[in-house]
Structure 1
Amino acid sequence: MDIQRIDRKRQKQIRRWGLGLLGGLATLGLLAWLATLDPAAPSVDKASLWTDTVKRGEMLREVRGPGVLVPKEIRWIAADTPARVERIIVRPGASVQPDTVIMELSNPEVIDQALAAEAALAAAEADYTARVATLQSQLLDQRALQAQVTAEYESARLQAEAEGELAKKGIIPSIQFRRSQLNAEQLKGRVAIEAQRIDQFKASLDAQLAADRARIAQLKNAAQLRRRQADALNLRAGIAGVLQQVPVQEGQQVAPGTNLARVARPGELMAELRIPETQIKDVVLGQGVRVDTRNGVVAGNVTRIDPAVQNGAVLVDVELSGELPSGARPDLSVDGIIEIERLPDVLFVGRPAYGQPESDVRLFRIDPDSGLAQRVPVRLGRASVSVIEVQQGLAPGDQIILSDTSQWDDYDRLRIN
Structure 2
Amino acid sequence: MDIPRVRRANHRAWLLPLLGFAVVLLVTVFVGRLKAAAPTLERSTLWVGVVKRGPMLRQVKGNGRLVPEQTQWITTETAGRIEQIAGRAGMVVQPETPLMELTNADLVLQALQAEREVASAEADLLQMTSRLRTQQLKERGSLATLVAELIDAEHRARAYTNGAGEVFTELDVHRMQAHATELTSRVALAREQVDVVAQSLRDEIAAQRSQISRRREVAAFRKRQVDSMHVRAGGSGVLQEIPVELGQWVVPGTVLAKVVQPERLKAEIRVSEVQAKDLILGQHAEVDTRNGTITGHVARIATAASQGTVSVEIALEGDLPKGARPDLTVEGYIELERLSDVVFVERPAGVQTDGPSTLFRVTSGQAERIRVVLGRSSVNQIEVREGLREGDEVVLSDMTRWDNVDRVNIR
TM-score range, shorter chain: 0.7 to 0.9
How far apart are 1:346 and its partner, in Å? 4.5
Greater mean deviation of Cα atoms: 343-352 or 290-299: 343-352
Contact 2:68–2:260 (8 Å) recurs in 1: yes
Q: Following superposition of structure 1 onto structure 2, how do residues 209-224 of structure 1 map, counting pairs within 5 Å?
A: 209-224=205-220
Give the Cα–Cα distance (whole angstroms) in 2 for the partners of residues 64 and 242 of structure 1: 30
Contact 2:240–2:259 (8 Å) recurs in 1: yes
Give the Cα–Cα distance (whole angstroms) in 2 for the partners of residues 382 and 147 of structure 1: 105
Q: 2:64 aligns to what?
A: 67
The question of 1:233 aligning with 2:235 is answered no
Q: 2:86 aligns to what?
A: 89
Query: Which of 6, 9, 12 does residue 8 from structure 2 map onto?
Result: 6
Contact 1:358–1:379 (8 Å) recurs in 2: yes
The question of 1:79 aligning with 2:76 is answered yes
Greater mean deviation of Cα atoms: 67-76 or 146-155: 146-155
- Aligned-partner SS, 1:6: coil
Q: Following superposition of structure 1 onto structure 2, how do residues 263-342 of structure 1 map, counting pairs within 5 Å?
A: 263-342=259-338
| Amino acid aligned to 1:46 | R
Query: Which of 30, 36, 39 does residue 39 from structure 1 map onto?
Result: 36
Q: 1:375 aligns to what?
A: 369
C-alpha change, 1:385 and 1:172, in structure 2 (3 Å) is farther
Q: 2:254 aligns to what?
A: 258
C-alpha change, 1:192 and 1:10, in structure 2 (3 Å) is same
How far apart are 1:319 and its partner, in Å? 2.0
- Aligned-partner SS, 2:36: coil
C-alpha change, 1:132 and 1:416, in structure 2 (3 Å) is farther
Query: Which of 44, 49, 53 does residue 52 from structure 1 map onto?
Result: 49
Query: Which of 397, 403, 410 does residue 404 from structure 2 map onto?
Result: 410
Give the Cα–Cα distance (whole angstroms) in 2 for the partners of residues 147 and 125 of structure 1: 33
How far apart are 1:152 and its partner, in Å? 5.5
Contact 1:353–1:404 (8 Å) recurs in 2: yes
Q: CA RMSD in A?
A: 3.4
Q: 1:104 aligns to what?
A: 101
Give the Cα–Cα distance (whole angstroms) in 1 for the partners of residues 198 and 372 of structure 2: 96
Give the Cα–Cα distance (whole angstroms) in 2 for the partners of residues 55 and 146 of structure 1: 114
Give the Cα–Cα distance (whole angstroms) in 1 for the partners of residues 296 and 141 of structure 2: 80
Query: Which of 340, 343, 353 does residue 349 from structure 2 map onto?
Result: 353
Give the Cα–Cα distance (whole angstroms) in 2 for the partners of residues 307 and 317 of structure 1: 12
- Aligned-partner SS, 2:252: coil
C-alpha change, 1:176 and 1:98, in structure 2 (3 Å) is same
How far apart are 1:353 and its partner, in Å? 1.2
The question of 1:248 aligning with 2:244 is answered yes
| Amino acid aligned to 2:374 | L
Give the Cα–Cα distance (whole angstroms) in 2 for the partners of residues 203 and 329 of structure 1: 68
Contact 2:160–2:172 (8 Å) recurs in 1: no
Contact 1:290–1:297 (8 Å) recurs in 2: yes
Q: TM-score, normalised by structure 2?
A: 0.84
How far apart are 1:255 and its partner, in Å? 3.0
Q: TM-score, normalised by structure 1?
A: 0.83
C-alpha change, 1:133 and 1:271, in structure 2 (3 Å) is farther
Contact 1:163–1:172 (8 Å) recurs in 2: no
Give the Cα–Cα distance (whole angstroms) in 1 for the partners of residues 199 and 58 of structure 2: 77
| Amino acid aligned to 1:340 | L
Gaps of 5+ in 1: none
Give the Cα–Cα distance (whole angstroms) in 2 for the partners of residues 387 and 177 of structure 1: 127
| Amino acid aligned to 1:317 | E
Give the Cα–Cα distance (whole angstroms) in 2 for the partners of residues 273 and 229 of structure 1: 40
- Corresponding pairs, count: 409
How far apart are 1:300 and its partner, in Å? 1.8
How far apart are 1:117 and its partner, in Å? 1.7
How far apart are 1:21 and its partner, in Å? 4.8
- Aligned-partner SS, 1:388: strand
Contact 1:70–1:272 (8 Å) recurs in 2: yes
C-alpha change, 1:117 and 1:404, in structure 2 (3 Å) is same
- Aligned-partner SS, 2:121: helix
How far apart are 1:270 and its partner, in Å? 1.8
Contact 1:81–1:229 (8 Å) recurs in 2: yes
Q: Deviations over 1:274-319 (max 9, x none)?
A: 2333433333333322111111111222333344544443333322
Percent identity, aligned pairs only, is 43
Contact 1:273–1:336 (8 Å) recurs in 2: yes
Give the Cα–Cα distance (whole angstroms) in 2 for the partners of residues 193 and 86 of structure 1: 68
Q: 2:30 aligns to what?
A: 30
Contact 1:166–1:172 (8 Å) recurs in 2: no
How far apart are 1:271 and its partner, in Å? 1.7
Q: Deviations over 1:114-169 (max 9, x none)?
A: 22222222222232233234334434444454555556656666777x6699599x
Give the Cα–Cα distance (whole angstroms) in 2 for the partners of residues 153 and 208 of structure 1: 32
How far apart are 1:94 and its partner, in Å? 1.7
Give the Cα–Cα distance (whole angstroms) in 2 for the partners of residues 259 and 199 of structure 1: 59
